Amino acid sequence: MARPARLSGAGGRATILDVAAAAGVSRQTVTRAVNDLPGISVATRQRVLAAAEALDYRPSRFGRGLVSGGAHQLGLLVDDLRNPYSPELAASVLRLAAARGWTVVLADVGLTGDSDRSVQDLGAQSDVVIGYLGARAPEWLERLGSVPVVELDPAGPALRGAVRLDPSEAVETLADHLVTVGVKHPLVLDAPSAAVGAGQPSARGQLLLDALRRRGYLPRHVLAGAASADAGAAGTSAALAAHRRVDAVLAFNDVMALGALAACRRAGVDVPERVRVVGIDGLTLGTLVAPTLTTLAVDLDEVARHAVDLALGMLDGSLPRSGDAVQRVVRHRLLVRESA
């Protein structure tokens, strides 16, 4: 099905003028036919539509957007869709965006080889960007260009808008809970963090350790090789073998906690009877396993709501592009399920 020869558009694509010529009408009439506008005879409309079809005509979104404004496009930057955290957040953002009639461009910096390019393209296609920048925030903000940005869970000081996650209160509640249920020898199953020195506890890990120590515990600290289920399982297996008295595993996140759960099962260690397991994040995933996972949950709907709110304000100029006025905090809270 080769295309007719002479087309004016770039890339050999037909433009409205090609259709007009083929149908023997003006471009305005093509617009009327293609956009279902009134003021055109049935016969003409049919002739135009036939010509459009034959030329495989598709209106340029740029031409259209230029004149009619076009829908807002929200850029969403996630770290790795294969990690269940990202899609849950994306789902929340998508829902809010769709409710406003915005479209969402998605870029994944954990997935693509050339993440710099992805970030740059995202900035070019978006009216506003929401997402995780992590340790490379300064560099990537540069690449995003001049769009307003709402950073989620920023690793450092907030350079633009920001929604911060704060687990500190929930960590205290969790520590109290562990005391109450009689835990004696807790273990913090930590993940490496780019923000601290190698071998050091992550910010979350430190929070957990401090809360436990304040209650008289002498918590063990295990630094897994990565924030993955496999690494969580390996770390747990080793720790259970080396320290028989461990009776609670507090993981850096839910995915690692799932690994801990699997390791316990393989070691024939009952959860929560002999060892309690706790994650952080509150992923739906934690409700699909048995025992269901106790976790410090963050309400991603709330995170998304704040982020979109801030983005909106920055976009319409009612909020500045950085500073305290574009900062929000969302606190984790303890979700006691079966595993602890």
Partner DNA sequence: CTGAAAGCGCTTACAG
Q: Residues 106 to 165: which contact a copy of itself by CB under 8 A?
A: 106-108, 111-114, 117-118, 121-122, 124-125, 145-147
Q: Residues 3 to 42: which contact a copy of itself by CB under 8 A?
A: 3, 10-12
| Closer residue to DNA in complex, CB, 34/234 | 34
Lay out the site mask for DNA across 61-90 (x = CB under 7 A, - = otherwise). -xxx-xxx----------------------
Length of the chain equals: 340
Number of CB atoms found within 10 A of residue 242's CB:
10
What letter does residue 59 receive in the DSSP assignment?
A: -
User: Residue by residue, what is the 3-state secondary structure of 261-325?
Assistant: HHHHHHCCCCCCCCCEEEEEECCCHHHHCCCCCEEEECCHHHHHHHHHHHHHHHHHCCCCCCCHH
Pseudo-torsion of CA 149, 155, 158, 164, nearest 10°? 80
Does residue 284 interact with a copy of itself by CB under 8 A?
yes
What letter does residue 252 receive in the DSSP assignment?
A: S
Q: Which of 41, 46, 98, 184 binds a copy of itself (CB under 8 A)?
A: 98
| Closer residue to DNA in complex, CB, 8/284 | 8
| Residue 186 main-chain phi, psi, to 5 deg | -80, 155
Residue with tokens 């992805």: 118
| Closer residue to a copy of itself in complex, CB, 64/184 | 64
Q: Which of 29, 126, 193, 202 binds DNA (CB under 7 A)?
A: 29
Q: Which two tokens stand for residue 193?
A: 């963090």
Does residue 293 interact with a copy of itself by CB under 8 A?
no
Lay out the site mask for a copy of itself across 173-202 (x = CB under 8 A, - = otherwise). ------------------------------
Does residue 294 interact with a copy of itself by CB under 8 A?
no
Q: What residue 122 binds from DNA, a copy of itself, none (CB within 5 to 8 A, per partner kind)?
A: a copy of itself
| Cβ-contact 185, 247 below 8 angstroms | yes
| Closer residue to a copy of itself in complex, CB, 7/179 | 7
